[in-house]
Amino acid sequence: MTTNKPSSGREGGRSLKTRVKSAGKRTMSSALWLGRQLNDPYVARAKTEGYRSRAAFKLLEIDDQYRLLRPGQRIVDLGAAPGGWSQVAAQRVEAVSGGGKVVAVDLLEMEPVSGVDFAVMDFNDETAVPRISAMMGGRADGVMSDMAANATGHKKTDHLRIMGLVELAYEFARGMLAPRGFFLAKVLQGGTEGDLLAALKRDFTLVKHVKPKASRADSSELYVLATGFRGAPPPSGEAGTSPAG
C-alpha cells in the first residue's frame, strides 16, 4: 500500500485526499474501507482528541442536542469496546472526579478507560443486572448501546440481527433503569420494529429516532432514543434502591 501523506489537508487551494492503492491480496472492499477510514475527518479527530473511536462523536452530537448526560449520573455502556462512548460518558458525568459512575460491559476485553469500571460479561446473563447494580451502587440513569451484529451484506438479515440485540438491550434497561432514565441504542434504517417501538412508548415518555452527523451519510444506521423512563420492578437481587451485595 502506498499513500500520499496529507499535511494541512489543503495545498495550492485544492483538497488533498489520501489514496489507497490495491496491493497484494487486498480485496476491493477492504481497499475501499481503508480509503474511507483514511479520509474520514472523524477518524482524524478521534486520534487528535484522544478518543478510542470515531463513534465518540456520535454520542457527543446526540448529547449536545438532547442533554442526556449530566454530572453525577450512573451510566451503563453495553458492548462498550473499544471504549469511545465510555470515554464521553465518563467525561460528562464527571466520573473521574467521583461525581458520577460509568460501568462498561463487553464480551471482549477492553483497555482501561479513566473513570470507567469495566466487566467482561454477557449482559443477557441472569446475573448481569444484580452484578452491574452492585458495581454502580444502584439503578442507572442511562443505558447506552452502540452494538451491531457482524454484517452479512443481506439487508433483511442484518436488520433482524441488530434488532435482536436492541430488544435484549431494552429488556436489560427495563430492569436496570431508575425512573426518568434514558435508553439509547443503535438500529438500522427502517427504524425500530413495531412491537418494540410500542413497548418503548409504553415505558418511556418520549421515543424518537436520531441520526447524528458523525454517522456516515451512506450508512443505514440510526439510533433509537427513549427518555423519561416510567419505572419498572426493582432489578433482581435489589431490595428497594439498595443493590445486592
What residues are annotated to the active site?
186
> Does 24 belong to an annotated binding site?
no
> Does 203 belong to an annotated binding site?
no
Three-point CA angle 26, 38, 217, nearest 5°: 100
Integer Cα distance of 204 and 67 in angstroms = 16
Pairing of strands 140-145, 74-78: parallel
> Does 146 belong to an annotated binding site?
yes
Who contacts 17 (Cβ-Cβ below 8 Å, separation ≥6)?
6, 39
CB 199 within 8 A of CB 174: no
> Does 85 belong to an annotated binding site?
yes
CB 159 within 8 A of CB 86: no
Strand segments, DSSP code E, in the chain are 10-11, 14-15, 74-78, 101-106, 116-120, 140-145, 177-188, 204-210, 221-229
CB 183 within 8 A of CB 200: yes
* Residues contributing to the annotated binding site for S-adenosyl-L-methionine: 83, 85, 106, 122, 146
Q: Which residues carry a binding-site annotation?
A: 83, 85, 106, 122, 146
